Amino acid sequence: MEHTISITEQAERKVTDTKSIPFGKVPTEHMFVAEYKDGEWHNAQVVPLHDLTLSPLALCLHYGQTVFEGMKAFVTEEGKINIFRIDKHHDRFSKSLHRMCMPAVPKKLFIDAIHNLVKLDADWVPREADGSLYIRPFMIATEDRIGVKVSDEFLFMVVCSPAFQYYTKPLKVKVETTYVRAAQGGTGAAKCGGNYGGAFLPTQLAREAGYDQVLWTDSIHHEFIEESGTMNAMFYFDNVLVTPQLSGTILDGVTRDTLLALAREKGIVVEERHISYHELVRAFNEGKRVEAFGAGTAAVVAPIETIAIGHKEYTCYTGADAVMFRLQKELYDIRRGIVPDTHKWNYIIN
Ligand SMILES: Cc1ncc(COP(=O)(O)O)c(C=O)c1O
């Protein structure tokens, strides 16, 4: 079914200096919203940003039937706006929705919604080298019913917010062996709200102990590395880029996929496999140069400087010639249109 998106523009546009504002704090002036009822999407519209009216019985408020995505728009060298890997974000959104018994959003509706919204709020895409517009599509279950059930009604929305450097210095992370983020057969591979709420306490405890993030391990052995915060985990040692395989318990990160493709193109050996923290300890103890970093849309490439394993802290390599920085630069250059986009990852809004 074709959806026409109506657009109601905000009368007064006020673009403020957003650089000093923390990630995600300031939304742009418009949002997209569409309603799902009677098995179909209705009323697709870009409208001035507004608060929602929800019944206190709305199912999303009780049972966590919510899914979201996160992607970014950049200004290219030519001054055009580029949304990076919108197709892959739609694929993952579809998989998350399926896992959470929520209705699919047709690809055309997803792309048109984001296109129209970003075009209208184009002034908000930062021009600075470290700036981008973070785009947050999400869906919530809105049927008002207190009984535990799959909702029959939903809202699909998109909001945006300018984003700058997420982490300003290399990270200290702690390998988590008590709490787990996800187990086999669970929702770890879906970008659903509950995964994040469940991560708050262990992350808060790690922060209180002086770390920026936890490095999750698997739910059975508490030994194999999973991911970290809102990032996939990557390591480079012995001339190999190693990252945990997509086992169903970690997110299929778009940045992960992108960096692996770029690394393979550069002739770097890539392994997607189990990584035991014992293997990392061995590498550190043998005096090997170990790079560790997080890969994600918000943080892009986040160097890890310190990994705490048990009661010991190990130092990773973060020198300027590290492989992670080569990959980061390549990614930057593609998104900014500085080098050709041979993978067709860029979606340019004219
Ligand atoms: C749990 C988790 N892992 C990994 C990632 C990285 O995924 P992406 O590169 O698609 O942002 C994210 C962020 O979306 C995340 O929330």
- Closest Cα to residue 71, out of 32, 104, 114? 114
Report pLDDT digits (tens) over 107-140: 999 999 999 999 999 999 999 999 999 999 999 9
Q: Whose CA is nearest to atom 6 of ligand 1?
A: 296
- Three-state DSSP class for residue 179: coil
- In this prediction, residue 11 carries a pLDDT of 66
Radius of gyration of the chain (CA): 21
Q: Whose CA is nearest to atom 4 of ligand 1?
A: 231
Percent of the chain with pLDDT over 90: 94
SS3 assignment for 87-133: HHHHHHHHHHHHHCCCCCCCHHHHHHHHHHHHHHCHHHCCCCCCCEE
User: Above 90 in pLDDT, residue 160?
Assistant: yes
Sign of CA dihedral 322, 328, 333, 336: negative
**296 within ligand 1 shell (Cβ under 6 A):** yes
Report pLDDT digits (tens) over 185-194: 999 999 999 9
| DSSP run (H or E) holding 160 | strand 154-163
Average pLDDT of the residues in 158-172 = 95
Q: Whose CA is nearest to atom 1 of ligand 1?
A: 230
Q: Length of the chain, please? A: 350
Cβ–Cβ < 8 Å for 225, 277? yes
| Span from the CA of 147 to the centroid of ligand 1 (angstroms) | 32
Which of 230, 256, 328 most suits a substitution to test ligand 1, by most atoms within 8 Å of the C-beta? 230
- In this prediction, residue 133 carries a pLDDT of 97
Report pLDDT digits (tens) over 305-335: 999 999 999 999 999 999 999 999 999 999 9
6-165 shares its CATH topology with 171-335: no
- Strand 269-272 relative to strand 240-243: parallel, antiparallel, unpaired? parallel
What φ, ψ does residue 206 adopt, rounded to 5°?
A: -65, -40
User: Above 80 in pLDDT, residue 198?
Assistant: yes
pLDDT band at 348 (very low <50, low <70, confident <90, very high): very high
pLDDT band at 20 (very low <50, low <70, confident <90, very high): confident
What φ, ψ does residue 259 adopt, rounded to 5°?
A: -65, -35
- In this prediction, residue 107 carries a pLDDT of 98
- Three-state DSSP class for residue 256: helix
Report pLDDT digits (tens) over 210-236: 999 999 999 999 999 999 999 999 999
**254 within ligand 1 shell (Cβ under 6 A):** yes
pLDDT band at 262 (very low <50, low <70, confident <90, very high): very high
For residue 139 the two structure tokens come to 């869906």
User: Above 70 in pLDDT, residue 84?
Assistant: yes
Task: Compute the distance between CA of residue 72 and CA of residue 65 in angstroms, rounded to an integer.
Answer: 24
Angle at CA of residue 133, ends 130 and 139, nearest 5°: 140
Query: Which CATH number, 3.40.50.300, 3.40.50.2300, 3.20.10.10, 1.10.3720.10, labels domain 171-335?
Result: 3.20.10.10
- In this prediction, residue 308 carries a pLDDT of 98
Domain range summary for the chain, segments of one domain joined by +: 6-165, 171-335
| Span from the CA of 46 to the centroid of ligand 1 (angstroms) | 26
| Span from the CA of 296 to the centroid of ligand 1 (angstroms) | 5
Q: Whose CA is nearest to atom 13 of ligand 1?
A: 230
**45 within ligand 1 shell (Cβ under 6 A):** no
- In this prediction, residue 92 carries a pLDDT of 98
For residue 203 the two structure tokens come to 């992350």
- In this prediction, residue 306 carries a pLDDT of 98
Q: Give the mean pLDDT of the chain.
A: 96
In angstroms, the Cα distances linking 30 to 26, 50, 208 are: 12, 8, 37
Fold for domain 6-165?
D-amino Acid Aminotransferase; Chain A, domain 1 (3.30.470)
CA atoms within 13 A on the CB side of 111: 17
**190 within ligand 1 shell (Cβ under 6 A):** no
- Three-state DSSP class for residue 32: strand
- In this prediction, residue 213 carries a pLDDT of 97
